[in-house]
């Protein structure tokens, strides 16, 4: 199987079976993060453990396959990390996706599948939408 096909499958798997996606109606509309290009939005809920680590990140939203899969992968990779570490990851991920940092997503688990999106600026907004939402939820 070619890499592109493999990455496509990873993206579709997360889009069809998103991890940590739940109804988050308890979150107010002020905290919804929207992609102005398409109007899709995402909400994020964060739970911290007693030692200050991100115990669980949940999301809810109506985004496209790219934003849903990016959100799903994001909730998995940030689990168990400190708030500072996650804020740094968010910064790095956004820079990599915007092609402003040439680092690879090789060590980012399933998120490597999103590297192909970098050449499509409109899709980059989809991929980074949940990351901006998580940043808002953490600040």
Q: Which residues bind ligand FES (CB under 6 A)?
A: 35, 38, 40, 63-64, 66-67, 126, 129
Q: By C-beta, is 54 or 66 nearer to ligand FES?
A: 66
* Buried/exposed 111-139: b ≥16 CB within 10 Å, e otherwise: bbbbbebeeeeebbbbbbbbbbbbbebbe
- Work out how close the CB of 34 gets to ligand FES at its nearest, in angstroms, rounded to a whole number: 9
Closest CB to ligand FES among residues 18, 63: 63
Q: Which residue is nearest to ligand FES (CB)?
A: 126
**Spatial contact of 67 and 127, defined as CB atoms under 8 Å apart:** yes
Closest distance between ligand FES and the C-beta of residue 1, in Å? 25
Q: How far is the CB of 65 from ligand FES (least distance, A)?
A: 8
Whichever of 57 and 117 has its CB closer to ligand FES, that residue is 117
What strands, in cross-sheet order, belong to the sheet with 33-34?
33-34, 41-48, 54-61
Q: Contact 71/130 with Cβ under 8 angstroms?
A: yes
CB of 126 to ligand FES, least distance (A): 3
Q: Which of 8, 5, 23, 131 is nearest to 77 (CA)?
A: 131
Nearer to ligand FES, 54 or 93 (CB): 93
């Amino acid at each position: 199987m070619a890499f592109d096909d493999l990455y496509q499958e990873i993206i579709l798997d997360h889009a069809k079976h998103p991890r940590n996606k739940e109804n988050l109606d308890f979150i107010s509309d002020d905290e919804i993060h929207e992609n102005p290009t398409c109007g899709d939005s995402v909400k994020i809920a964060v739970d911290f453990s007693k030692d200050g680590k991100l115990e669980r990140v949940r999301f809810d939203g109506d985004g496209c396959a790219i934003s849903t899969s990016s959100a799903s992968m994001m909730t998995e990779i940030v689990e168990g990390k400190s708030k500072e570490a996650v804020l740094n990851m968010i910064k790095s991920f956004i820079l990599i996706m915007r092609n402003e940092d040439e680092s690879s997503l090789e060590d980012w688990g399933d998120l490597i599948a999103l590297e192909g999106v970098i050449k499509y600026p409109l899709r980059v907004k989809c991929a980074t939408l949940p990351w901006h939402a998580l940043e808002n939820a953490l600040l």
